[in-house]
Amino acid sequence: MRPARLSALFLSALALIPCARAEDALPAWDYIGGANDDEDWGLLSPAYAKCTVGTAQSPVAIDETQKTSMLPMQFDYKASEAVEQWRELSLILQFKDGNTLRSEGTEYRLRQVRFHTPAEHDIKGVNLPLEMQFIHESADKQVLVVAVQAVTGAANAALQTVVEALPHKGAPEKTVQVDVAGLLPKKRGYYAYEGSLSWPPCTEGVQWRVMKEPITLSKDQLRALGLLLGRNARLSQPIYFRHIKETQE
């Protein structure tokens, strides 16, 4: 079990609607250890109620799985311009159109990449130091998140571009050129389950794909990200009636 965090409204989290007016602003939330931590998110506002009463919340501990014949995901990622910003207690890369993913016959567009330290998903009892969450949206507004974890080792060249442009908390956003495909592992096997956004308002109905193979990053890269992010991972949530599928690969 690890600490947790959530964000603001679901669509605003994906930057699909304008920000709320100041008088309509939702209460602040935090990760474990504060007055507004993840265990109390649902008590802060009716808008966050799913965080407490939801039965399909994320993240989850990936332990028991069922191997299936799910199709490989097809990534069409390329070097792209992104807005890099510190927002909603996370480092966020905000993308325009240009990067897509096809999963189980549906095409999704990449909207954001969000960074969490440590990883939000435990896999077979192991908790790695970093998880990147690639947030996609289909034409009919369905959300699919691909989680890529990282372990210390060789430096990642694509990630280095992000690290060199790290904003300070509260600092203006920066525009960077990111080799998005370079943030993916070579092997594309994954775990799949239905869950939620892992930050407020914890909206459910989100499809998750958690990659089996991590990428590597250097200790210096991890240190730089950790100094900015601190501990911004939500506690594992009950699995309840859900099943976690696993690809054959």
Q: What is the CATH number of the domain that holds 94?
A: 3.10.200.10
How many secondary structure helices (H) and strands (E) does the chain include? 5, 13
| Distance separating the N- and C-terminal Cα atoms of the chain | 27
Q: Are 123 and 129 in contact (CB under 8 A)?
A: no
Average pLDDT, the chain: 89
pLDDT in tens, 60-78: 999 999 999 898 999 999 9
pLDDT band at 33 (very low <50, low <70, confident <90, very high): low
Q: Is residue 1 part of a domain?
A: no
User: What pTM, to 2 d.p., does this model score?
Assistant: 0.89
Q: Is residue 3 part of a domain?
A: no
27, pLDDT greater than 80: yes
Residues 6+ apart with CB under 8 A from 37: 3, 4, 29, 30, 31
| Structural domain containing residue 56 | 10-246
100, pLDDT greater than 70: yes
Give phi and psi for 164, each to the nearest 5.
Answer: -70, -20
CA distance 82 to 68: 35
Average pLDDT over residues 12-35: 57
Question: What pLDDT does residue 34 have?
Answer: 61
Q: How many domains does the chain have?
A: 1
Q: Is residue 187 part of a domain?
A: yes
Average pLDDT over residues 156-171: 90
Q: Is residue 5 part of a domain?
A: no
